[in-house]
Amino acid sequence: MLWVKAFHIVFVASWFAGLFYLPRIFVNLAMVAPDSVAERERLLLMAHKLLRFTTILAVPALALGLWLWLGYGIGLQGPGNGWMHAKLTIVLLVVGYHHACGVLLRKLANGQSQRSHVWFRWFNEAPVVLLLMAVVLVVVKPF
């Protein structure tokens, strides 16, 4: 079980690293001058590769978490396991954020996004808040 936990933590941390950097590329894309085609294409390529990589990392992170939850019963038994429900809610929010990154990337690639670089900067901060909440729930288990 400790190996499963260790790999789960590594994949989750790597997944979050990608989710921290991907919106930063969106900020740069929103700031590219309209006549700078090569820069825009390079940033789009970087964003597509990073999204693919974070998706690949998300699959084992979620699978190992599911294995720990259902296979070992972590957070299923006894009173005081409300932290697990809160953690699962955060996991769903992170999956939704990941999906939103994919939607935004498609819009940026098609030239349909009218968002400013300031909006993308705020969007970039969302996973930080989710990560802090997840760490508190996993380490402190306040419920």
Domain coordinates of the chain in residue numbers? 2-139
pLDDT, mean over the chain: 87
Confidence check: pLDDT of 76 > 70: no
Crossing angle for the helix pair 117-139 and 2-31, to the nearest 10 degrees: 170
Confidence check: pLDDT of 74 > 70: no
CA distance 8 to 5: 5
Does residue 26 contact residue 47 with C-beta atoms inside 8 Å? yes
Confidence check: pLDDT of 87 > 90: no
Q: How many CB atoms neighbour CB 141 within 10 A? A: 15
Higher pLDDT among residues 134 and 101, named by residue: 101
The model's pTM is 0.83
Give the pLDDT of residue 98.
95
87 in a known ligand binding site: yes
CA distance 15 to 138: 17
48 in a known ligand binding site: no
